[in-house]
Each structure stands twice: as C-alpha cells, then as structure tokens.
Amino acid sequence: MPNANRGAVGFNSSEFEEKYERPSKTELKRQSDALQDLGTELVNAPRDRVKRMQMPDDVKDVILETQNIKDHEGRRRALQFVGKKMRSLDEEELAVIRRTIAGWTGASKADTAALHALERRRDKLLADDKALTTLLAEHAELDGQHLRTLIRNARKEQAENKPPKAYREIFQIIKQVEAKKHKAAADDEADDSESDDE
C-alpha cells in the first residue's frame, strides 16, 4: 500500500505548529543562575544592610547564617541553599531586593565621589597656599595656625616618605567641615519646607 505522505512537500501537522507556553530549559537555567547570583550578592553584602532589607525572615536568616560560614565546601552548599530560597520568592519580593541593591550601588558611587572630592581639596591645600586662605574665609571657625602647621608637616612627611599622620588629619578636618556644611544646608532646606507649609 503506497504511503500518501511519501514525497509530499510542506508537510503540515497541527502538532508541529503548537507553541510551547512554558520557558525552555535554557531559560529556566538562566533564571535559576540569576537568582543564585542575587543570593550570593546578598551573602557578600554587609550584614547591617541585609538585616534592614525587606524580605521574608526565613530567607534573611539563611543569608545571615551563610555569612558566618568560613569552610569552603560548607559555604558552597549553603550558597546553593540560599539560591533555592531565592527561587521561592515571588516577582514582587525579588523586585524589592533588586531595587534595594541598586540603591546601594548608587549610594556607594556617591560616597566614593564625595571622598575623591575631599582628597582633591586636601591635595589643593598642600599644593597652593591660596587654597588655605579660601578655606579659612569660608569657615572662620577653623584654627588657621593649626592648619598651617598640619600642611607644613604633611609636606615634610611626603618629602621624607614618612607615615602620613598630618596628611590624614587634614583630611579629617576637611571631612568635618563638609559634614557641617551639608548638615547646615539640610537644616535650611527643612526650615524652608516648614515655612512653606505654614
């Protein structure tokens, strides 16, 4: 009996046209790996940040316990368990975690930029005497004589390759000045918003 399909071109069958609604194995593996990486990132994050994060307590406890494990193999197994716990979270919980981590990154970039700005200001004080005059004009509360002594000592430390004691102290003074300036600006802003409310 001849085969009706033999030699037929463009074989059509509904079973081949069905589309799979579920993700492929590769996609599932990719999602699983992404959640594993997210869990590992939380384990490597500072403890206080993890404690403040919004997530189910059972997941948070597993992450905090894993942070204490020092043994390589034990930590590897614990990280796998963290990944399993991460896969138990729903999309909304995961979105909150991802937003929080993104916020950490932004905050740390801003902190780094602020520190670099302070370092540049310190270096300018050491390189240019006019920078000290400007700083003292902006902040009359500073002890000019003490700062001049520190700058002279910091220059000497650099010239003689000595430990940077004065260099660090100048940085701390500049940091305190900037902190006071930011606090004053924040207080002014708060006062302005209160007067607007009245």
Domain ranges, ordered by start, for the chain: 25-89, 109-197
Other Cβ atoms less than 10 A from the Cβ of 174: the count is 21
pLDDT at 179: 82
pLDDT at 164: 85
User: 31 vs 24, 28, 40, 85, 160, CA distance in Å?
Assistant: 11, 5, 14, 14, 56
Contact 181, 166 (CB under 8 A): no
pLDDT at 193: 60
Which CATH topology does 109-197 take? Diphtheria Toxin Repressor; domain 2 (1.10.60)
The answer as to CATH 1.25.40 being correct for domain 25-89 is no
Contact 147, 136 (CB under 8 A): yes
Rg of the chain taking only CA atoms, in angstroms: 30
Which pTM does this prediction carry? 0.46
Q: Is 25-89's fold the same as 109-197's?
A: yes
Contact 153, 168 (CB under 8 A): no
pLDDT at 58: 92
pLDDT averaged per 10 residues, the chain (length 198): 55 52 78 86 89 89 92 90 90 87 76 83 90 89 92 92 89 87 73 59
